[in-house]
């Protein structure tokens, strides 16, 4: 049993497994009145820097738990923004054995494509998600005729977001589904989704259990910045959407960077918002070449400093939406090189972020996806 006291209440988490909680996550406090606790993953590469090899190990461990004899076609859906990279990683590991599956990730950034449905993540700082149909005709056919649905997120607490997505998919016309597999790093929903839906649900996670929340009387109500924006910003987006929003079934590094100069150096590869998978592939390549690589990402998730969040910085988003973005647990002096990866032009990156990352000894480079 893990019990953590926050300013707004006390959260208790139990698991029937012997897995060490501290190896997978730490707790933090959201700046969010709807839900003030947050499980901060130590293997996700989003809020805490982590090596590509550690991330890949979690991808492999989760993929190995997914049944290999699922009814075809198989559709993976990853949840923006936090689990975009996780979904791609699990999809890649699962399909290494030869299984065919289409991957689509939800998004809060409209793109040029055919919108299939929308759904809500009710407890989130940004509730609205969009799901687009794949561009490729073969992948689109797999999507529309999917029989097995694999939903990927970093953690599950109630199962409500997965349930909302499933209902939206049904309403939009996905009528052949015969089963759902949820894939999360941690799952505290205690089987709630299976009890709610009229379709078989198989839950896959690295650790699972249940949680309880005891609110504090007269606790201060967290103030949440306004980041619930699902719209096109002023910044043009990369032409290549080859990692999820518009469907994919293969994973190829298309970020251009010569890795030879980083051998033996400590390097931070930093994604931006939903743009996490291509930075992972770059970090993986640099690690294989002999660099000491850590991965992390900026986010629109407002989190209080404390516990898992040792430090943080706020700045404006790089999509030209005019909303706050954040970066956590990054101390530039700890790295020799910082590679900031973006799917929008470098001119839209906030000078405040660039100035922070340029402090100290680290050499900062901005890499833009075409």
pLDDT value of position 253: 95
pLDDT value of position 230: 83
Inform me whether the pLDDT recorded for 295 exceeds 60.
Answer: yes
Model pLDDT for residues 297-347, shown as the tens digit of each residue: 999 999 999 999 999 999 999 999 999 999 999 999 999 999 999 999 999
Nearest 5°: phi and psi at 244?
160, -50
Inform me whether the pLDDT recorded for 222 exceeds 80.
Answer: no
Inform me whether the pLDDT recorded for 117 exceeds 70.
Answer: yes
Nearest residue to 155 (alpha-carbon basis) of 271, 11, 259, 286: 11
Inform me whether the pLDDT recorded for 30 exceeds 90.
Answer: no
What lies within 8 Å, CB to CB, of 149 at 6+ separation is 75, 77, 166, 169, 174, 177, 179, 180, 181
Q: In the predicted model, what is the mean pLDDT of residues 18-34? A: 83
DSSP for residue 107: B
Model pLDDT for residues 121-159, shown as the tens digit of each residue: 755 555 789 999 999 999 999 999 999 999 999 999 999
Is this structure's pTM higher than 0.85?
yes
In the chain the domains, ranked by start, together with CATH numbers, are 2-215 (3.40.50.2020), 259-368 (3.40.50.2020)
Inform me whether the pLDDT recorded for 221 exceeds 80.
Answer: no
């Amino acid at each position: 049993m893990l019990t953590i006291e926050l300013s707004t209440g006390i959260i208790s988490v139990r698991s029937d497994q012997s897995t060490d909680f501290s190896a997978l996550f730490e707790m933090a406090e959201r700046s969010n009145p709807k839900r003030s606790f947050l499980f901060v993953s130590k293997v996700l590469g989003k809020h805490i820097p982590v090596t590509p090899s550690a991330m890949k190990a979690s991808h492999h461990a989760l993929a190995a738990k997914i049944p290999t004899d699922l009814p075809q076609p198989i559709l993976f859906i990853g949840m923006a923004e936090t689990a975009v990279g996780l979904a791609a990683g699990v999809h890649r590991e699962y399909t290494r054995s030869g299984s065919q599956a289409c991957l689509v990730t939800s998004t809060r950034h409209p793109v040029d494509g055919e919108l299939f449905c929308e759904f809500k993540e009710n407890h989130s700082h940004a509730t609205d998600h969009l799901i687009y149909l794949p561009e490729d005709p073969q992948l689109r056919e797999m999507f529309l005729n999917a029989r097995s649905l694999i939903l990927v997120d970093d953690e599950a607490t109630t199962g409500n977001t997965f349930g909302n997505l499933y209902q939206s998919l049904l309403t939009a016309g996905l009528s052949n589904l015969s089963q759902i597999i949820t894939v999360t790093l941690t799952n505290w929903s205690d089987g709630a989704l299976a009890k709610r839906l009229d379709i078989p649900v198989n839950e896959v996670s690295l650790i699972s259990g249940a949680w309880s929340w005891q609110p504090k009387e007269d606790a201060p109500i967290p103030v949440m910045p306004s980041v619930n924006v699902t719209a096109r910003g002023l910044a043009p987006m990369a032409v290549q959407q080859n990692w999820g929003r518009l469907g994919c079934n293969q994973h190829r590094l298309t970020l251009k960077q010569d890795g030879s100069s980083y051998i033996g150096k400590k390097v931070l590869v930093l994604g931006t918002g939903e743009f996490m998978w291509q930075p992972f592939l770059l970090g993986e390549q640099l690690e294989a070449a002999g660099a000491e690589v850590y991965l992390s990402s900026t986010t629109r998730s407002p989190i209080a400093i404390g516990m898992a969040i040792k430090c943080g910085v706020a700045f404006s988003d790089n999509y030209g939406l005019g909303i706050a973005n954040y970066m956590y647990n990054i101390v530039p002096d700890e790295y020799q090189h910082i590679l900031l990866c973006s799917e929008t032009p470098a001119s839209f990156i906030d000078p405040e972020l660039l100035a922070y990352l340029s402090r100290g000894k680290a050499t900062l480079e901005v890499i833009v996806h075409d």
